[in-house]
Structure 1
Amino acid sequence: MQQFDILDPKLNVFQSRFLEASAGTGKTFAIEHLVCRLLLESDPPISIQEILAVTFTREAAHEMKTRIRSKLAEVPDRRAREALVNFDEIQIFTIHGFCHRMLSEFAFEARTPVQMTSPEKPDHICEMRQTVEDFFRTGESAFAIDVANLLKRSRYDVDRLVTRIVSAMENEDEPKKFSFPSLPQIQLEHLRADFLTLAPRYKWLKVEAYEGQCEKFVTYLEQKDPSLLFEEKAWFFEKIHEDNAKLRAAPLSSLSLHAPDFFQELQTKLLPPLKIARDADEMIKRIAKECRNRWKVKASRHDHFTFDDLIRKMDAALNIPSFLEKVAAKYKAVIVDEFQDTDPFQWKIFERLFLENHLIYLVGDPKQSIYGFRSADIYTYMQAANALGEEKKAFLDTNFRSSPQLIEALNTLFTQNPDWIALPSLPGALNYHPVKAGRTENQFAEPPIV
């Protein structure tokens, strides 16, 4: 793998590359200078409208635009001035923004509505909020317990609660599934007697605080109404488990109980689903899923699209030759930033459009692939690297953020044990490329004695 120095005038920037950029190695600096060199050194010239840059978030896209504009303003060159004049046409997007732009611009070829609403636009969020607020107003009985508990926990700050639910709708978080089990019946007097016998064995279990729950719990067993389980912050059986037993507690086998296995069943069968049911994050995900389904029904009537919809629509549209040709012809150079966060469907889009006949830079760091919950896939990263070929691989070799001592320690740590960053689904591990320190000062040095 070759070292990549964007400031080296001998570097051929008109060659596709798979660029690995560890944290602190000046990735954004390299990208902004790469765009400038593509604009200034291309022959025939490449215009600013013909360079596509895709990154992971809107904030990162905005920062990239700002830095490229500033860099172009520093260059006393005719092409740089032309790029600044046309800077409003710069093609920097998130993957979803890119899909939305192409599906809208080439709507006839893609067979999509001309007036598509992007899920990245503020009105999209407003409509989601409206859906959540309508949900609260209707008072859906199936979610009454979740709503009541969340309102109570949020101290009835409805606006903040709605914001959290909308965020979960955007992320399309799936709630955990659970169901309450059937439990054997037990007589109230037997439950109370066993509770009084067991209580002294366990920490933080005061009889006077919990004894009244026995009758409520028997009512739950009779009526099988889960809402009754939400009436108490903590139930007595949550304390009755061996991890919570007192140090010198008498053995369970020495106690005389009416239903010796009953409390064990509560621990193994009832407590796990109850924890999921009462978890605030899970409540939000459940409500968000219901609201998202309602919003999608409403959105489908007005040509609104979710993030996943855009990827699916784009993938389908690429099967139409005229659409694929129009999009591919629009760009001459493509830069995909944060490529480690790309999922298989997104890579398929870039691969079909740009891999064969375009200048393409895929920039990322496999060590920072942390968005598995959003379908990011490290194996997609590796597949793309192989698609470009070994001769196209390069890396940034200097860390400008960390102290020399820390860089030396990390290099030693990871080079001595190359299997530390293991790949669960493949033999071997991720390669670690040692980096140099771009700073000279020792931030860990002792301060001078004055």
Structure 2
Amino acid sequence: MNNRINRLDPLSFPLQGKALIEASAGTGKTFTLALLYLRLVIQHGGDQAYRRPLLPPEILVVTFTNAATAELRERIRARLVEAAGVFQGEASDDTLLQALMQQLPADQHLRAARQLTLAAQWMDESAISTIHAWCYRMLKEHAFDSGSAFDPQLETSEQAWQQQASEDYWRCAYSQLPVDELALVVDCWASPDLLLKQVKPCLDKLAYLANPPGSALQLIQRYQQQRSAQLDALKAEWRAQDYIGQLQRVFDEAAKQKAFQAKKLNTGHRAGY
């Protein structure tokens, strides 16, 4: 396996096979992608080119957000128009476009200009979309092969479904419990919203979680027992070390110095702690 990293040359980058481009933010990924797009449109690349020029509906480009999709489409459209002008003889300071034109025989310049112009006019039909939008399109177009519905609904957020699942679970598992048992649940999660908030970070780790050894109520009761035992042990340690007595003396000394309002935290209140 070849792990060598080469400097990217967008004019000689292979247009067939598999390749990985690694780049950080602001290094010109969109600029490079647009130039590779031009090369596919004019069938540039010699032996590494496709057998025929490609049109926008035949070139798949996927990204992450709708905003990035719109920006990418407009950047590529503008690049196509600019390149078409260069191949028609317009002056340009873009050295890459000049080099691209020089690598094609002069008798192919007008052909390339026509292909670039046609591609720019066809960009509204380009296969540039988000990953989820592309998957949605494929499932819809190949419903028989994928076994999916003929009119699937694209959901870009799971929040509403997660909220409904949390409320359904709360209603089925907790709403019919006796008052004393329900009090244990509410002590952990006061509402379905808080239940979802605590459970949500675990949803993408379900494969790593073991099956619970008991019902949800049994787990809560076990947790309450463990917490009560830990608190009892902590209280016993405080009594053994006379931490409470030390704290009481600190409060008494602070009261003499009027460090706090005695009416709001009097001796009776402090004894209760």
Q: What is the deviation of 1:48?
A: 0.9
Deviation at 1:81, TM superposition (A): 2.7
Could you tell me how far 1:197 is from its partner in structure 2?
0.9
Distance 1:149 1:58, change over 3 A: same
Distance 1:210 1:136 in 2: 43
Change (3 A) 1:80 1:126: farther
- Which deviations, in whole Å up to 9, do the C-alpha atoms of 1:109-145 show, x marking residues without a partner? 222211111222xxx6585377279669969557644
- Tell me which residue corresponds to 2:190: 148
For 1:39 and 1:145, the matched residues in 2 are separated by 64
Within 5 Å, give how 1:270-419 maps onto structure 2.
none
Matching residue within 5, 9, 17 for 1:5: 9
User: What is the match of residue 197 of structure 1?
Assistant: 242
Distance 1:117-1:199 versus aligned 2 partners, 3 A rule = same
The partner residue of 1:28 within 5, 27, 30 is 30
1:48 maps to 2:32: no
Aligned to 1:119: 155
1:128 alignment partner AA: W
The percentage of counterpart residues that share the same residue type is 26
Cα displacement string for residues 328-354 of structure 1 (whole angstroms, at most 9, x for unaligned residues):
xxxxxxxxxxxxxxxxxxxxxxxxxxx
Which stretches in structure 2 are left out of the alignment for 5+ residues? 45-50, 85-112, 176-181, 211-218, 253-264
Contact persistence 1:55–1:94 (CA under 8 A): yes
Q: CA deviation at 1:199?
A: 4.0
> 1:3 & 1:192 partners in 2: Cα distance?
65
Cα pair 1:21 1:27 within 8 Å, conserved: no
Residues 5 and 184 of structure 1, relative CA distance in 2, 3 Å threshold: closer
Deviation of 1:46 after TM superposition, in Å, equals: 0.8
SS in 2 for 1:20: coil
* 1:82 equivalent in alignment to 2:113: no
Q: In structure 2, give the amino acid aligned to 1:87.
A: M
CA 130–4 in structure 1, closer or farther in 2 if over 3 Å, else same = same
After TM superposition, the structure 1 stretch with the greater mean CA deviation from structure 2, 133-142 or 111-120, is 133-142
Structure 1 runs of 4+ aligned residues shifted over 6 Å read 175-178, 205-211
The CA deviation at 1:195 is 7.2
Describe the superposition over 1:421-446 as per-residue Cα deviations: whole angstroms up to 9, x where unpaired: xxxxxxxxxxxxxxxxxxxxxxxxxx
Maintained 8 Å contact 1:32/1:67: yes
Question: In proportion to residue count, which structure has more strand?
Answer: 1
Task: Report if the CA contact (8 A) 2:170-2:192 is conserved.
Answer: no
2:34–2:76 CA contact under 8 A, matched in 1: yes
Alignment coverage as a number of residue pairs:
191
Q: Deviations over 1:73-116 (max 9, x none)?
A: 33323223322332232223343333222111111222221111
Which residue of structure 1 lines up, in the alignment, with residue 161 of structure 2?
Answer: 128
Tell me how large the CA RMSD over aligned residues is: 4.8
Q: Deviations over 1:21-74 (max 9, x none)?
A: 231432222112211221123551111111112334444434322322332233
Give the 3 Å change call, closer, same or farther, for CA 15–118 of structure 1 in structure 2.
Answer: same
1:366 equivalent in structure 2: none
- Higher gyration radius (CA): 2
Q: Deviations over 1:296-344 (max 9, x none)?
A: xxxxxxxxxxxxxxxxxxxxxxxxxxxxxxxxxxxxxxxxxxxxxxxxx
Matches within 5 A, 1:88-237: 88-120=124-156, 127-128=160-161, 131=164, 141=175, 144-145=186-187, 147-148=189-190, 168=200, 172-174=203-205, 180=223, 182=226, 191=236, 194=239, 197-199=242-244, 212=272
Paired residue secondary structure (1:44): coil
Task: Report the Cα distance in structure 1 between the residues aligned to 2:124 and 2:17, rounded to whole angstroms.
Answer: 26
Alpha-carbon distance in structure 1 between the residues aligned to 2:230 and 2:154: 54
Determine the C-alpha separation between the residues in 1 that align with 2:271 and 2:123: 72
Deviations along 1:174-207, whole A, 9 cap, x unmatched?
A: 48898625465999xx8597178124779xx979
| Cα distance in 2, alignment partners of residues 129 and 184 from structure 1 | 34
Structure 1 segments unaligned to the other structure (5+ residues): 152-160, 214-450
Counterpart of 2:105?
Answer: none
Structure 1 residues 197, 21: CA separation in 2 closer, same or farther (over 3 Å shift)? same
SS of the equivalent of 1:18 reads coil
Q: Which letter does structure 1 place at the counterpart of 2:82?
A: E
TM-score by length of 1: 0.33
Paired residue for 2:16?
A: 15
Secondary structure at 1:92 match in 2: strand
For residue 93 of structure 1, give the secondary structure of its aligned residue in structure 2: strand
Retained in 1: the 8 A contact 2:167–2:192?
A: no
Report which of the two has the higher share of helix: 2
- Contact kept, 8 Å, 1:13 with 1:38, in 2: the verdict is no
Q: Distance in 2 between matches of 1:79 and 1:5?
A: 23
